[in-house]
Amino acid sequence: MRTKVTENGVLIPKAWLPGIDEVDIQHTPDMILVVPVQAHDPILNLGTPPIVLDVEDASSHHDQYLYNQ
């Protein structure tokens, strides 16, 4: 898509952002990058709730117990 830059800037069609409520706009000398912001990063859920096993170090060594390595 090519568009003119007006005194207000450039409009990005909402249809290009389905289900997105917030974006991060990054500016470099050669490009402008629009990146969707995730409401919550799922990796932050790792370790919650912690693993419950009959061993004391299950949370810190979960790969060993899950994959028998």
Residue 40 is predicted with a pLDDT of: 75
Residue 62 is predicted with a pLDDT of: 63
In a domain, residue 54? The reply is yes
Q: Which domain holds residue 62?
A: 41-69
| Cα–Cα distance, 25 to 35 (Å, whole number) | 6
45 alpha carbon, distance to own chain's centre: 13
In a domain, residue 63? The reply is yes
In a domain, residue 69? The reply is yes
Backbone torsions φ then ψ of 24, nearest 5 degrees:
-105, 130
Residue 35 is predicted with a pLDDT of: 93
Residue 42 is predicted with a pLDDT of: 74
User: Which residues fall within 8 angstroms of residue 47, CB to CB, at 6 or more apart?
Assistant: 59
Residue 52 is predicted with a pLDDT of: 64
**Tokens found for residue 44:** 């932050």
**Tokens found for residue 30:** 């050669």
What's the domain count of the chain? 1
The size of the chain, in residues, is: 69
Q: How do the pLDDT tens digits run along the chain, 69 residues long?
A: 899 999 999 999 999 999 888 999 999 999 999 999 877 777 777 767 666 667 666 666 666 666 765
